[in-house]
Amino acid sequence: MRPQLSEEVAAVLRGRIMSGELRPGARIRLEEVAEQLGVSITPVREALLTLRGEDMVELEPRKGYVVAPLSKQDVVDLFQLQGDIAGELAARVAVTITGAQRAELTVANRALLRAIRSRDTTEIERLEYAFHRLINRDAQARKLSWFLHTATRYTPARFYAADPGWRESVKRDHEALLAAFAGQDAAAARSVMTSHFTDGADLLVKHLDDLGIWSSHAATGRA
């Protein structure tokens, strides 16, 4: 078994939970998850132990693992935390960024724009992550970047990559962010980056509202 296999399973389940595919109270059956993902039971069990430690799932007597409660405020809090940290990192980059770093970000953004035009959600997801990873690296704040990486694990990236409105907002936000970097405007970089995340929270909350995720915590789905 690959050492990271349980982490990959955990990432899939996090995305399903945060996007509402798995609702609060839904039972997660190990055998079904293993079959869906083409893995053995062991990495699924390890992934669920990890998610239990993150309060994403709960272990109930005679039922096994179920999705833990999730509130609107939980979603808002998660994205506000992400926005605050990412905004601080972007502000630091704006002050210290070099011409070579701006050029690298521009190239990375162009690749992302091509993926958006082709509506390749897998590439959009990968390249959006790569763009932000460059910013975090340029901030030269290893611990703060680690905290952001941990917080963004709860972002259902596949949901966003598939949303046309979000894809348009990415184009606007990245253009504004690159302009802030070019002008070495720390305040603008912080504002744009923070809004990039908090606007994402609004989109996800609306999506979960439409699903009626808050009104019922019954086990309405299965993994």
Residue-range domain boundaries for the chain: 5-70, 72-210
The CATH fold of domain 72-210: Four Helix Bundle (Hemerythrin (Met), subunit A) (1.20.120)
Q: What is the pLDDT along the chain (223 residues), one digit of tens a residue?
A: 455 899 999 999 999 999 999 999 999 999 999 999 999 999 999 999 999 999 999 999 888 999 999 999 999 999 999 999 999 999 999 999 999 999 999 999 999 999 999 999 999 999 999 999 999 999 999 999 999 999 999 999 999 999 999 999 999 999 999 999 999 999 999 999 999 999 999 999 999 999 998 765 444 444 5
> 69, 13, 64, 29: which is closest to 215 by C-alpha?
69
What's the distance, Cα to Cα, between the start and end of the chain in Å? 22
Could you tell me the sign of the dihedral formed by the alpha carbons of 107, 175, 177, 168, in that order? Answer: negative
Domain spanning 5-70: CATH 1.10.10.10: yes
Inter-residue contact 34 to 41 (CB < 8 Å): yes
Q: What is the pTM of this model?
A: 0.88
